Amino acid sequence: MKTGSVQARLDEESQAALDRLLRHGMSTSEVIRKGIRLVEEHHAPAPRRKLIGIGIISSGVSDRATNKKYMEDFGKKSMGPGWQKPKGRAK
């Protein structure tokens, strides 16, 4: 395993946080290793979502999308009560 070394300038707040962690028994190296892993987890790309249920569904009716008898009342309910087909238009 290849190892490396780190040199960093810390602001007062970061130095105070490091000092508190050192008082709790952690070593500087341990704090840096865990910190790097936490940052990596936070910035790692989200796993790709998988779609479930996409595909061919058999309803038993082979011509549902092209047969006009299945489309007769389609959308009327969503148009509200009293909806009528516009006059003067072709069927």
pLDDT tens digit string along 60-75? 666 666 777 777 766 6
Map out the domains of the chain as residue ranges.
12-43
pLDDT of residue 5: 85
pLDDT at 91: 54
Kindly list the distances between the CA atom of residue 16 and the CA atoms of 3, 82, 83, in Å, as whole numbers in the listed order: 26, 72, 71
Could you report the per-residue pLDDT of 9-68, keeping only the tens digit for each?
A: 999 999 999 999 999 999 999 999 999 999 998 888 878 877 776 666 666 666 666 777
Listed in sequence order, the DSSP H helices in the chain are: 12-23, 28-43, 76-79
